[in-house]
Each structure stands twice: as structure tokens, then as C-alpha cells.
Structure 1
């Protein structure tokens, strides 16, 4: 499997951040992990990285229900950045709402919709598909 330079976790729940980060580390396939606690913080930092022509993450694991900016607000703004490189976004949420799954389809993320808690096997599957 190919090594991944950077993975970005956007989530406000410390328990899920810990679990997801640990699974990403255990995969042995990721060099760096970026962690943001809400969509606004993530957007601001990722836009600054893009503006500075630095390397953006190859994978974003995005929670939906967060304070300040939720995952949907992040996506609405993030897709406006004219990024040329491929970034694989996976929704990682506790929401099993049909409305959220329909919303994910609008961003072409219906196949990338994972319900927490994530299993180590799901992380390995995500990384093996890249």
C-alpha cells in the first residue's frame, strides 16, 4: 500500500479524536496527522496552507456535528477553494440521519459516509483504496 503524507481529522469529540488518531497511527501508512476541533478552524488553516502553496492532506475525516462551523459549513466553503490536487473526504459522524446521507450525496460523498465509532478495519479499507 502507498504511504500517505497527511491525514486531517476534523472533530470536536476528544474520545473520537483519540480513537481515530490511534487507528491512523496503527495503520503505519500515514506520515502526519492534522487535527482540528471545528470546521472553521480547519478551513482557516487549510486555506492558509493552500495559499502558501504547501501540501494539503490527502484524506480528510470530517465530523458533521461540531460547534462554530459544522461539517456541512466546512464543505460549503472548502469546495470553493480552487484546489487542483485530489483530496479524499470521508464523513465520519455519529449521525444516522437519512437527511445527512442525502446531503452527503450533494457533495458526492454518499459512498464516503462512515458512522462512528469507526473500526480499525474501516481505516485500513479507506487507506487501501487510495
Structure 2
């Protein structure tokens, strides 16, 4: 089993996905502490302060592409402009299966993997040891 994650961040406007992912992370014993944001703007506002003040960042970020206010792509553009010493570990978790989105994801070094929803217990267990 992978080392336990201290803090996970979920940026997604789907409450069912957020609830299910949290429960699976808790059930598997990978993580018990979460930051939850409903859109990229909420996440950017909170995480940019953490990054600028050099406070501990989340061990993993699950990021949806399609959200209101600020989508996942806009979030990525803005968060990667911040000069930080630690590496962000972002897993794009989306319902989009288009090659265009997959290719776009490859342009961001912070994206560790592209996962098509729904996330399952098996896919979560495959992802987490790579962190």
C-alpha cells in the first residue's frame, strides 16, 4: 500500500463525485483530510495563498475540467503561473474522453494522469501508488 496522503484536494462541482471520492479515499485508508472546492476560482483563491506563503500544499489534487465560474483549464493556467518550489500533483478527473482534452492535458507538467469518470475503487488504488 502507498504511503498515506496527508491532504487531498478535490476541485469539482459534482457533489456526488466529491462524496464518492472522499469516501473511497477514507475507506482505503489513503487519506482522511480534504480541501473541497466547487470551481477553479474558489480553489485558486485558497491554494494561491498557501503556495505564496509556502505553507504545505495538498499531496494530490483531483481536478475536473468542466466547472462553472472557472473551469479546470483556466485553473491550470493560473496556478502554474505561481512560482513554487514544490511540485503540484494533479490528476485530471473528467467525463471528457476527447483526444483534444487528452492532448491539452499533456501540455501541463503538473498533470500526473488523465482519468475518465466515474473513478472506481480499482482506478483509485492504481493511481495512488504513483504519487
TM category (shorter chain) comes to over 0.9
Partner Cα separation in structure 1 for residue 111 and residue 9 of structure 2: 19
1:78 deviation in Å? 0.5
Matched residue, 2:10? 9
Question: Equivalent residue for 1:22?
Answer: 23
Counterpart residue number, 2:38: 37
Matches within 5 A, 1:90-109: 90-108=91-109
For the aligned residues, what is the CA RMSD? 1.5
User: Structure 2: how far apart are the matches of 1:87 and 1:111?
Assistant: 9
Moved over 4 A (4+): none
Which aligned pairs between 1:1-130 and structure 2 lie closer than 5 A? 1-108=2-109, 112-130=113-131
1:8-62 superposed Cα distances (whole Å, 9 cap, x missing partner) = 0000011111111111111212141110000010011001112333211011000
In structure 1, distance between residues paired with 2:110 and 2:54: 26
Unmatched tracts of structure 1, length 5 or more: none
Structure 2 gap ranges (5+): none
TM-score by length of 2: 0.92
TM-score of the pair, normalised by structure 1: 0.92
Q: Secondary structure at the match of 1:61?
A: strand
What is the SS of the residue equivalent to 1:106? coil
Secondary structure class of the residue paired with 1:107: coil
